[in-house]
């Protein structure tokens, strides 16, 4: 067994690797960017080294710097985790040249499976079923459009070097192909440095099923059962489970055999995932699945496999990298119960799932039977715009699927996460969705049910609870500060008693609820204040987290932020101004599609912003004339920053 490891990654996967390595008695070496100086993975390891500025391209993706640190720290091996350099063949080769073990497959296998077009051709030669499509070298837009027409719509445009849904677009109509191709290529170039794409037939009722495979350097290869990753949004996995609902032992054996063939075809070693798309229109069945791609690394969702097998896949990775044989044969692989994993992200589900950044004011996960949490952050950690906004993975394991889903839903609703907005309530709603519980789902499930899965509008019960806590805090402050100077402004928040000539004092108090102006109705009675927002009293099941300038109210996974307004602020300061286009989140300006002086129509795309590795288009709110463009392409922008201004046309007025 190797005795020391440099973990060339960050966040929850770096923490995950460090825990197993420490249990095995290995010395753990962390790397960190300037943005991660105080990150949890830095403190969890035995030693840590700064590798550069916050942007990943200047730190975590600089292979030479990582190798320099590994040599200086005398690391026996490098574990790349997932993302970053985990599927970089050149990095794997550089490790070998430096005499450092790369905990992953050989560079030849990464190259063979890293490009989707070559991988599909190789799988066809190995007798593995492949989705119909065009996987060739020609990339002229007109030629690709012709191929899409021949394949038949709908089709998927997929980045050759892609992963995680980046550089992928579904196209339903021939007329939409050009725009989708341009967008996919631009995103692929930005994410992978390779704009090439392939075209494949879109399966109408698709299930995304993947097989966890493991191979050693002695010619042994097995699979560790399957995972179902069909609950996706924007082609990115949201909830994963194992085993796949509706999977028979016979079909598992057939798909497992195909996955092992795929691994053997490229001389694979270590952990990998062979991904299939299955047509679930008539249930999972033989002949109804096709190879999509192979991920030559550990997957984010590997904990559900660990739950049903009782195995530590990171330990297996270390043992295989050290030259050991696989610990089990195929017929010895366990399959116990059911496991479900939910990815908790810092994102605003009510604003199109925009990334949400900022400091985690509070973070606390529930504990209970069958619950596991993998995270790389804690209370006080910063969710920055530089990296994937994952907060944690919450995994539930139980004897049955229904029990596992119930456990997961309760755990998500019981999680305390304040500061950046999260998708906790959305994930809990997914776990309870009747059709999903009844095993009637495919990769389009979330899009079809989005309106019922995301809460809309203000949670007035939570808002009233937050106002009550603010009033109690202000009352305590005023009572404890009776020597206040007369220069301080008078505020409706100053009411501290129940005196009124006729009954209890009744006030209308201005507040900010989730940043929007609102009013709360407060009555001071003999037993203290009572509060209502739009007629609703404080929710009794809410939890309040107090911060210096706000109260964060958490209820069933949803966050409501209540603040008192700045009464000294002028109306001009508060107004955004008609036609001012502001950045909805921190990010980078990828493209400006209009210039000052241009006429625009309502709904027209104005600019494209990249944040958390995803593209977001800004649209014109009305017809008008672009009067100002305040940013430049390539520039970094903060949430709320002015992008441009549009003067409404006479018709719009």
Which residues sit opposite 392 in a β-bridge?
344, 375
The candidate with the shortest Cα–Cα distance to 154, out of 574, 443, 555, is 443
The model's pLDDT over 487-537, given as tens digits with 9 standing for 90+, comes to 444 455 555 554 454 455 678 888 999 988 899 999 888 778 899 999 999
Relative orientation angle of helices 89-97 and 63-72, to the nearest 10 degrees: 30
pLDDT confidence of residue 528 = 80
CB 358 within 8 A of CB 381: no
Residue of 16, 27, 297, 558 marked active site: 297
Delineate the domains of the chain, giving CATH numbers in brackets: 4-103 (3.40.50.20), 116-128+205-336 (3.30.470.20), 132-201 (3.30.1490.20), 337-456 (3.30.470.20), 460-563 (3.30.700), 576-648 (2.40.50.100)
The candidate with the shortest Cα–Cα distance to 371, out of 406, 402, 336, is 406
pLDDT confidence of residue 573 = 35
Which residues sit opposite 545 in a β-bridge?
552
pLDDT confidence of residue 572 = 29
Q: Give residues with Cβ within 8 angstroms of 173, minimum separation 6.
A: 153
Give me the half-sphere count of Cα atoms (radius 13 Å) on the Cβ side of residue 304: 31
Taking residue 315's Cβ as centre, other Cβ atoms within 10 Å add up to 16
Q: pTM for this one?
A: 0.82
Regions of the chain short of the pLDDT cut 50: 482, 484-490, 498-499, 501-502, 567-577, 652-653
pLDDT confidence of residue 427 = 98
- Our answer to whether residue 285 is catalytic in this structure is no
- CA torsion sign for 85, 89, 90, 95 is positive
The model's pLDDT over 259-272, given as tens digits with 9 standing for 90+, comes to 999 999 999 999 99
């Amino acid at each position: 067994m190797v005795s020391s490891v440099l973990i060339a990654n960050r966040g929850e996967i770096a923490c995950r690797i460090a825990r197993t390595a420490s249990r095995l008695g290995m010395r753990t070496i962390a790397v960190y960017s300037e943005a991660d100086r105080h990150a949890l993975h830095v403190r969890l390891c035995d030693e840590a080294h700064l590798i550069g500025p916050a942007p990943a391209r200047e730190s975590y993706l600089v292979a030479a710097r990582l190798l320099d640190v590994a040599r200086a720290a005398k690391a026996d091996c490098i574990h790349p985790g997932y993302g970053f350099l985990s599927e970089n063949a050149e990095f794997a080769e550089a490790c070998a040249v430096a005499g450092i073990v790369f905990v992953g497959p050989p560079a030849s296998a990464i190259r063979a499976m890293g490009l989707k077009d070559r991988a599909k051709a190789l799988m066809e030669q190995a007798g593995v079923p492949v989705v119909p499509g065009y996987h060739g070298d020609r990339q002229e837009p007109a030629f690709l459009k012709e191929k899409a027409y021949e394949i038949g719509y709908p089709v998927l445009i997929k980045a050759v070097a892609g992963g995680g849904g980046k550089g992928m677009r579904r196209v339903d109509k021939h007329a939409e192909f050009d725009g989708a191709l341009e967008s996919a290529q631009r995103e692929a170039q930005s994410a992978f440095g390779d704009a090439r794409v392939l075209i494949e037939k879109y399966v109408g009722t698709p299930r995304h099923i993947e097989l966890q495979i493991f191979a050693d350097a002695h010619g042994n290869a097995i699979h560790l059962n399957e995972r179902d990753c069909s609950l996706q949004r924007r082609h990115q996995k949201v909830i994963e489970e194992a085993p796949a609902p509706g999977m028979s032992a016979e079909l598992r054996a057939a798909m497992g055999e195909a996955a092992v063939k795929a691994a053997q075809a490229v001389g694979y070693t270590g952990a990998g995932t062979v991904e299939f798309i299955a047509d679930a229109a008539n249930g999972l069945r033989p002949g109804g699945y096709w190879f999509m791609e192979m991920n030559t690394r550990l997957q984010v969702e590997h904990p559900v496999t660990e739950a049903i097998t009782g195995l530590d896949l990171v330990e297996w990775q270390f043992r295989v990298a050290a030259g050991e044989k696989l610990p089990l044969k195929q017929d010895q692989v366990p399959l116990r119960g059911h496991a479900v994993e939910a990815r908790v992200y810092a994102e605003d589900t009510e604003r199109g799932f925009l990334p949400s950044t900022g400091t985690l004011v509070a973070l606390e996960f529930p504990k209970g039977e069958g619950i596991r949490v993998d995270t790389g952050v804690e209370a006080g950690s910063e969710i920055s715009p530089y990296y994937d906004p994952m907060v944690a993975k919450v995994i539930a394991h139980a004897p049955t699927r229904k029990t596992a889903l119930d456990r997961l839903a309760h755990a998500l609703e019981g999680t305390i996460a304040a500061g950046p907005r999260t998708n906790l309530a959305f994930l809990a709603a997914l776990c309870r969705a009747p059709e999903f519980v009844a095993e009637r789902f495919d990769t389009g499930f979330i899009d079809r049910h989005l309106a019922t899965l995301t809460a809309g509008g203000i949670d007035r019960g939570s808002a009233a609870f937050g106002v009550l806590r603010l009033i109690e805090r202000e009352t305590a402050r005023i009572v404890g500060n009776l020597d206040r100077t007369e220069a301080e402004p008078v505020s409706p928040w100053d009411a501290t008693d129940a005196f009124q000539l006729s009954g209890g004092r009744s006030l209308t108090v201005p507040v900010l609820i989730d940043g929007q102006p609102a009013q709360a109705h407060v009555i001071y009675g003999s037993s203290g204040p009572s509060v209502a927002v739009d007629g609703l009293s404080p929710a009794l099941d809410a939890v309040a987290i107090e911060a210096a300038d706000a109260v964060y109210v958490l209820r069933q996974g949803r966050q409501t932020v209540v603040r008192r307004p700045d009464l000294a602020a002028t109306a001009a300061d508060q107004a955004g101004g008609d036609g001012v286009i502001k950045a909805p989140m921190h990010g980078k300006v990828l493209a400006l599609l209009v210039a000052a002086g241009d006429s625009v129509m309502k709904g027209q795309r104005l600019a494209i912003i990249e944040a958390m590795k995803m593209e977001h288009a800004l649209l014109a709110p009305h017809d008008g004339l672009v009067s100002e463009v305040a940013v430049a392409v390539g520039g970094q922008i903060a949430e709320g920053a002015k992008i441009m201004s549009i003067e409404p046309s006479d018709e719009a007025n």
